[in-house]
Structure 1
């Protein structure tokens, strides 16, 4: 098998790390187990609630250092049903995340779902988001909300993923983590948490680098996150959240055709080397949150944020295509974005008709201002460099939303929860590059929607809660999708309509014992004006609306403690995602207009038929640790025609470690093996790739060793 010639972590890096692990394993000391606390979530109701008492599908996963690389969000979400989070092994592109089939169409970035960090949107007003700045080292937990109540977060609300940074701790803690292994993966991090008088803090810096499993896939990421809280008095608190991430020159190996994958899964398409495909991203963000308890019934929360993100990306659009098409925007993307906004929320909690009642009302405003420039990716006969200007435009999108959400326990065994959100989303584009064959593409468009939701929960027994909910959703096309018109005319594709969905869900949540939880949910979402590909020509993808689509399925989850320090976790999702009306699409490279019929019932690409996860975990706060897990993925269609698909797979993993106290230090040593059977599988897909390079291979058997040190 061909091996990458790029830089990789050599044995001098591995030997000291392995030595540190062996030294740590040689010691041991006693420690007290931490008390087990019941989880709470805020994403569904915007106030702290037990997920067991919420009439919606919502899960929370804690994110302490746990013997993983702690770089990709996908590492933390495997056990949650309904969500597919794929590590693409490509840091020039963000992770792929979809919820119940929403967001599966995205070829880059994350669409169709809402993303937040500490209440600060990571999804822009047009519905496109990214998670490259999510800092797992400083995180406390991740919450995932699925189903109708996601609509209360606005545009692109197929689901909500929210990461929460941990508060400062008393006594203070210092965390130092080092991990490394196969494919040149190496991560170091330093995290400090503490409380000084009225101020608590959580500050983290981390470094990650990889040589990549495939050729031409090396990357480096530097990130930092800080959360500073100031308790002004017993009723008021001010929190500052700072975040930065820098990804310089991450190589993009592109996808492979099926034949290329079968011949050598570590190779890249030749154009990746020819044009040196790569991407650099640099982002800084700040958020300020003010919480005030006005009285026993009323509270106020004000959040404001601002950030900027610069992206430079070199694509593999052929020189001949750029020369032949005057309207082509070139193979180099230079994008500068400033974004910001805020959210003001008032919460009243008291009684209504003698029963507990709570209502939260608020307004939200988000604004994104982009300067989008494009250049040729050649200069003379030199390829993969910045050439002549081909695009210069100012894009702006902003939303202004109003929302209200209420929870009313109308009887001892019954709770009602409902809400409504009105969204206005405004797009505008000013074209500053007008030349022969490239007319003025300026334009404006506005979208609006009102999305009500309603749910009911019945406490059938102390150990069984039954719920049902219903709602409507709303998703506009993103700026990336309105970038070109399918008819090749001037202007942006403001003729695209937003997708509107009708969502239903019923489920049961079980807690037969204090340490056993289970759940099952049945769901259906019918969408009008689903977005699908219309054409693929010369590196340009245009989109069209499909009249109707459907996503329906079942989710199950189970979590129990079989014996002291022995836990079993399992989840399974079956999803049927399909187009419900026929349409025409392109079936060949360079297709200028849709000409191939797609019959009703064809599966929506990017959405696997089934996903599953199971793990047997042993370990407490100290001593020996171990996990054996399996992750399964059903077949995944890769194009609208359904003519190709990525095969399903099952991957096994094994980890082991030892945790002990040495004076003021807690030492967590660990080692992990992924893909134990060394299977060649397709880890992620590039939906509707115009060149048929749909497949992104996952690594074979890979190893990780590391140590996390905590000083108290």
Structure 2
């Protein structure tokens, strides 16, 4: 169905909704789209806010909290050597590691680097209050690679103080132990959390351990001033990487690993520490100032399965061990003015953001003599730096009781510089610089057709630069980085309807389309190197729907559905084999973009109040997902069911939450995530069969 037909369907529904009884409802307060406290019901954009209290899940992967949000594909890869796989409306789906194409924040601090690549391993769910997701055109107000925005917010300290200890464990050696303390001492509130997680993994060679800590300290200096300090750290030592499987390997034994994973002991270690400080100052009744600064360090060492012969025969090969040392930081200063314009409420925010990443990238051989999977001779040594300076402004004006206008613009200046320190015969100097700039305007309008029915429309421009990973090699095998790659630019539009016909009932539908120029796609795969090219045109379009209602006392129903068609609109040439030296196989216009399922669905019925028996029955469905640009292979679609139960009781100052859960009740063998365009055809990452989880959370007040 085309975008025009979908938009017409929403328009035809408006006369019907305008005749029903008015039942106002106040939504949860959010800050995502407007960077100010405002109900999502009154924002002309698709926004969802999901609370994150402990709810009987393992509670270590962000994917556990995003299943109910339409438009979001979040896959737990069962591979802790790689990050959670997340895309929004098809943006970010091409990423084979890390998260690209969408912006990530924790407590307002970027988790996405200036080049557009991010990760969520340091997101601490045990201390979080909520996760917010913004989809559609207004994401462009966050700059480079903002196909969507995900923000995690740590809860403030509580009064009276609460202390919680939780333990959960189950199939495949999964174990999570966490401790949390929240409280208020005079003008200071605090939320401190430490979490230990380990797993043997569903597949062979997939064991991992993760230690993480998060602290949020708030100091209310006076009625107009607050200072917030956010600290977090994560350590993942030697997480085993089972790699993907071919279709034949998956069918033979979904728990196996590729032989080269054992041969080279593929694994990754990551260690990160980060600190951020936020100063909120109310200047007077109309003016306020917010200043944020952050700094962090992250080191990554990864052992790949690059064959010895490939490294020996190619002088320019970067080796089979990746060693990254990152220092990053930046800040954001924003002024906000709230008053009236022509007698109507008006709000203007303007600011400037600076982000910087300084990366020392080294590559070593993954062998010494006949010993494999060990660090050998140096093959790559460079200093990479990328930084951005962005200016932005946005305004919200309630021009009439039933109408609100919102608009904004952001100018982004992103600069890359690489200094090659490893120059040898057959490996020339790869140093170079490149600069990308873009101005991204957005605008939207919201009509209050009734207090319980709001209609909105918006439009915006977005852009995405190549990341340093994609700039790493030139497709023509020449010297230097691939600074010939262009940034992708997109035109995004959306029409939506938000309904709140009762205090406990909300629903919504949105139709959207994003047309992109210069989409990035794989050009070649050769000797462990993947190079990229620009594709003239691509399109992502679809429809989202959501429903949330307390259908009876202590009985809560949540459901969402997404229909999404993402396709290349221009033909191009690509590679289909690991030894491909130049694109030689045509991809027809209309071929689906890999990594994007055509349909997503989620539904859950939850029973229980604050105390007593709890129960949950949920279903999660994913459509078939293409895995390569050619569209010749796809991961089959599936539907999985889960069942949870527990009992919550109080004893004096203690609250005890016991819970148990069964996932994949039918014990189906499915492909949980995919590795798009894998040069060896190992596209598939199997998900576990039937699994169980049991646990207990004990809280003292």
TM-score normalised by L of structure 1: 0.95
Task: Note the 1:448-597 alignment, pairs <5 A.
Answer: 448-597=437-586
Alignment partner of 1:287 is 2:276: yes
Task: Note the 1:21-40 alignment, pairs <5 A.
Answer: 38-40=27-29
Q: Secondary structure in 2 aligned to 1:692? A: coil
- Cα distance in 2 between the residues matched to 1:412 and 1:458: 9
Q: Deviations over 1:123-166 (max 9, x none)?
A: 00000000000000000000000000000000001000000000
Residue 281 of structure 1 deviates from its aligned partner by 0.1
Q: Secondary structure in 2 aligned to 1:481? A: helix
Residue 587 of structure 1 deviates from its aligned partner by 1.2
Q: Deviations over 1:682-706 (max 9, x none)?
A: 0000000000000000000000000
Residue 595 of structure 1 deviates from its aligned partner by 0.1
Q: 2:621 aligns to what?
A: 632
- Paired residue for 2:133, among 144, 157, 181? 144
Q: Do the aligned residues in 1 keep the contact of 2:547 with 2:560 (CA within 8 Å)?
A: yes
Q: 2:19 aligns to what?
A: none
Q: 1:710 aligns to what?
A: 699
Q: Secondary structure in 2 aligned to 1:285? A: strand
- Cα distance in 2 between the residues matched to 1:173 and 1:539: 51
Detail structure 1 runs of 4+ shifted over 3 Å in the superposition: none
Alignment partner of 1:384 is 2:373: yes
Alignment partner of 1:414 is 2:403: yes
Residue 513 of structure 1 deviates from its aligned partner by 0.4
- Cα distance in 2 between the residues matched to 1:115 and 1:575: 22
Q: Deviations over 1:38-57 (max 9, x none)?
A: 41110111001111110000
Give the alignment's Cα RMSD to 1 decimal: 0.7
- Cα distance in 2 between the residues matched to 1:298 and 1:665: 44
- Cα distance in 2 between the residues matched to 1:507 and 1:37: 18
Q: Deviations over 1:296-327 (max 9, x none)?
A: 10000000000000000000000010001000
Q: 1:599 aligns to what?
A: 588
Q: 1:322 aligns to what?
A: 311
Alignment partner of 1:652 is 2:641: yes
Q: 2:7 aligns to what?
A: none
Q: 1:43 aligns to what?
A: 32
Q: Secondary structure in 2 aligned to 1:480? A: helix
Q: Secondary structure in 2 aligned to 1:76? A: helix
Task: Note the 1:254-293 alignment, pairs <5 A.
Answer: 254-293=243-282
- Paired residue for 1:112, among 95, 101, 124? 101
Alignment partner of 1:349 is 2:338: yes
Q: Do the aligned residues in 1 keep the contact of 2:26 with 2:39 (CA within 8 Å)?
A: no
Task: Note the 1:7-86 alignment, pairs <5 A.
Answer: 38-86=27-75
- Paired residue for 2:299, among 288, 310, 330? 310
- Cα distance in 2 between the residues matched to 1:557 and 1:249: 40
Residue 463 of structure 1 deviates from its aligned partner by 1.1
Residue 37 of structure 1 deviates from its aligned partner by 8.6
- Cα distance in 2 between the residues matched to 1:441 and 1:641: 31
Q: Secondary structure in 2 aligned to 1:320? A: helix
- Cα distance in 2 between the residues matched to 1:700 and 1:38: 38
Q: 2:16 aligns to what?
A: none
- Cα distance in 1 between the residues matched to 2:567 and 2:54: 39
- Paired residue for 2:666, among 662, 666, 677? 677
Q: Deviations over 1:612-639 (max 9, x none)?
A: 0000000111111000000000000000
Q: Secondary structure in 2 aligned to 1:137? A: helix
- Cα distance in 2 between the residues matched to 1:204 and 1:300: 29
Alignment partner of 1:367 is 2:356: yes
- Cα distance in 2 between the residues matched to 1:363 and 1:101: 29
- Cα distance in 2 between the residues matched to 1:147 and 1:505: 7
- Cα distance in 2 between the residues matched to 1:88 and 1:301: 37
Residue 589 of structure 1 deviates from its aligned partner by 1.9
Q: Secondary structure in 2 aligned to 1:261? A: helix
Q: Deviations over 1:408-463 (max 9, x none)?
A: 00000000000000000000000000000000000000000000000000000111
Q: Do the aligned residues in 1 keep the contact of 2:27 with 2:40 (CA within 8 Å)?
A: no
Gaps of 5+ in 1: 1-35
- Cα distance in 2 between the residues matched to 1:623 and 1:349: 45
Alignment partner of 1:125 is 2:114: yes
Q: 2:429 aligns to what?
A: 440
Q: 1:25 aligns to what?
A: none
- Cα distance in 1 between the residues matched to 2:151 and 2:375: 37
Task: Note the 1:92-241 alignment, pairs <5 A.
Answer: 92-241=81-230
Q: 1:17 aligns to what?
A: none
Q: 2:3 aligns to what?
A: none
- Cα distance in 2 between the residues matched to 1:572 and 1:226: 35
Q: Do the aligned residues in 1 keep the contact of 2:561 with 2:602 (CA within 8 Å)?
A: yes
Residue 502 of structure 1 deviates from its aligned partner by 0.1
TM-score normalised by L of structure 2: 0.96
Q: 2:329 aligns to what?
A: 340
Q: Do the aligned residues in 1 keep the contact of 2:264 with 2:366 (CA within 8 Å)?
A: yes
Q: Deviations over 1:14-33 (max 9, x none)?
A: xxxxxxxxxxxxxxxxxxxx
- Cα distance in 2 between the residues matched to 1:218 and 1:587: 31
Gaps of 5+ in 2: 1-24
Q: 1:242 aligns to what?
A: 231
